[in-house]
Amino acid sequence: MSKKKILFITTGGTIASVRTAQGLRPVLSSGELLAHMPALAQLCQFDTLALCSIDSTDMGPAHWLDMARAIEENYSRYDGFILCHGTDTLAYTAAALSYLVQDAAKPIILTGAQQPISNEITDAKKNLWDSVICALDAGSRGVMVVFGGVVIAGTRAKKNKTISYDAFASVNFPHLAQVQGDRLVRYIETPPPAGPVRFSHALDERVFLLKLTPGMRPGLLAEIFRLYDCVIVESFGAGGLPQSLVEGFARGLGRYEDTHKVLILTTQVTYEGSDAGIYEVGRRVKDRFDFLEAHDMTIEAAVTKSMWLLAQPAGSFAELQRRFYRQVNFDTFYH
């Protein structure tokens, strides 16, 4: 039986970094990176594609589109794709690719490391090995994060530790699987795709994430709504807006049919999601204007899904609402 073909797409990050006088810097080429893992050739055939070599702090929507385009251009030639990525914005990239590449019958895996692969002590080699084990499994499909021995749905990953090797959590959803040596132990079956793979080619970056703080002044809202078409509010607790900000949001939003401005309400609390209908501070917002609610979605998923949706024809608010609440790669269970 011939070995499966995997395309490694490298983008830089800690995994490809070396120490310099200015700190860790991603300089290893894709070939140099995988030269540290000769044992991978026993598992699969692989090629490499270097898209960029940057710290993931500098990663943005243009890079996500480049990654999706690279997968699309090579989709028929490979059995799976592994993207080596810096950890700091890896969860954003994983969520973005979940919307840009839908109904993929092949695995699209993001991984990285907390320590460079050239270090004597590093998590990079295990993460790469585990990613290949996951990619070779017959049940693996769609966008996933493989890190610290666990497999996380692309829309559910969040980096919650800055140093430890188990840096990523699966938020409001179980791990899909765990890698134990050469074996994948699956907990959640990923359903077969509903149709052929679909690629999107545009994102709208006019999405602003506003974290509420006690005493925030409403004067900044007019400028935010001037520059952005979608404002995602990280509210307190189950969700709501301070009375002092309600009128500012109402003016900034206007009528959706006229402005196509969107408000999405979520929570600053990592786990268990939002429900603006519980408290009066949320219900008064529901009585004042239309908005969407992220419920149990991660911030990363809410931001990138909004960018993906805004790049599509506007339509009515009801149509926007329907598309926002349509589940993509386990991103929500509320609708």
CB neighbours (10 Å) of residue 173? 19
Distance between CA atoms of residues 182 and 103, nearest Å: 27
Three-state SS at 166: coil
Annotated active-site residue 93? The verdict is: no
Q: Are strands 5-12 and 45-54 parallel, antiparallel or unpaired?
A: parallel
Catalytic residue among 11, 14, 267, 304: 14
> For tokens 């402005």, what's the residue?
259
Distance between CA atoms of residues 292 and 298, nearest Å: 14
Distance between CA atoms of residues 37 and 145, nearest Å: 19
Distance between CA atoms of residues 335 and 322, nearest Å: 9
Distance between CA atoms of residues 264 and 78, nearest Å: 38
Query: Which sequence positions are flagged as catalytic?
Result: 14
